[in-house]
Amino acid sequence: MTLLYFAWVRQKIGRGDESFALPAHVRTIAQLIEVLRDRGPNYRAAFAEPDRLRAALNQEHVRFDAPLRDEDELAFFPPVTGG
Amino acid sequence: MKTIRVQTADFDGGAECERLVAGQTDIGAVVSFTGLVRGDDGLDALALEHYTGMTEREIARHVQQAETRWSILGVTVIHRIGRLAPGDRIVFVAVASAHRAAAFEAAQYLMDYLKTRAPFWKQEHRGADAAWVEAKESDADAAIRWRES
């Protein structure tokens, strides 16, 4: 799948996008966060407080219980501040 | 006419309003909103980042929602990205309708949703410091009032 990061999530992780093979046991965004958190201190910092994050799946806002497929585009970001 | 643009360049609100009504005689009201960068606490600049693709889709979805709720004859939404200085124009929403109530309400609805749903992020620059803007509870409340019960 394609993972995208924006604003301080991007800065903490140190990149804006990456390809990631969705592990077979990961069904939801909440479960994926647990996996991503173990990828290093930068990921741990970005995903330390999931409550501060929002997600979009294939460019639509979703909750963390949304199911995932390997062909998805998943974005993590803080609450939006446009306008 | 429907126009949605995300751009670094400035815009001319007056010209956008004229374009919105050009050649139409069924429009009786145009309401426009222009948002400016406020120079709070010695702000030097705002840097705006967005999610290319999703931004345009999300704005288009809310324009469609507005069209189902109000009788709208034209909409223009422009949001700037990149580095902006205090006083710069940052966002523009204009709605044309036969009567003023629809135009006022739809313009406010679109602004409230731009604030809470469109994937933009602001970073404030003051001297050497850069800080991401935190989302405001009051903006979320403003959007919630449009929810149909």
pTM of the model: 0.94
Q: Is B68 helix (H, G, I), strand (E, B) or coil?
A: helix
A49 in contact with B, Cβ within 8 Å: no
A16 in contact with B, Cβ within 8 Å: no
- The CATH superfamily assigned to B2-141 is Molybdopterin biosynthesis MoaE subunit (3.90.1170.40)
Q: Evaluate if residue B149 carries a pLDDT over 70.
A: no
What mean pLDDT do residues A47-73 have?
A: 96
Q: In CATH, what number is assigned to the domain containing residue A26?
A: 3.10.20.30
A40 in contact with B, Cβ within 8 Å: no
Q: Which residues contact A9 (CB under 8 A, 6 or more apart)?
A: A46, A53, A76, A77, A78
Q: What is the structure's pLDDT at B145?
A: 83
Q: A2-16, pLDDT tens digit by residue?
A: 999 999 999 999 999
Q: B80-90, pLDDT tens digit by residue?
A: 999 999 999 99
- C-beta of residue B118 within 8 angstroms of C-beta of residue A83: yes
For residue B23, count other CB atoms closer than 10 A to its CB: 6
Q: Which residue has the higher pLDDT, A82 or B142?
A: A82
Assess if residue A73 is contained within a domain: yes
* Euclidean distance between CA atoms B140 and A1, whole angstroms: 31
Q: A17-53, pLDDT tens digit by residue?
A: 999 999 999 999 999 999 999 999 999 999 999 999 9
Residues of B with CB under 8 A from a CB of A: 35, 48-51, 53-54, 57-58, 79, 90-91, 111, 114-123, 132-135, 139
Q: B39-97, pLDDT tens digit by residue?
A: 989 999 999 999 999 999 999 999 999 999 999 999 999 999 999 999 999 999 999 99
Assess if residue A83 is contained within a domain: no
Assess if residue A65 is contained within a domain: yes
For residue A78, count other CB atoms closer than 10 A to its CB: 17
How many domains, in total, are found in chain A? 1
User: What's the DSSP call for residue A67?
Assistant: B
Instruction: Provide the pairing of β-strand B72-80 with B2-7.
Output: parallel
* Euclidean distance between CA atoms B35 and B56, whole angstroms: 18
List, as one string, the DSSP characters of B103-117: HHHHHHHHHHHHHHT
Structural domain boundaries enclosing A9: 2-77
Work out the angle between the directed axes of helices B54-69 and B100-116 (0-180°, nearest 10).
Answer: 150
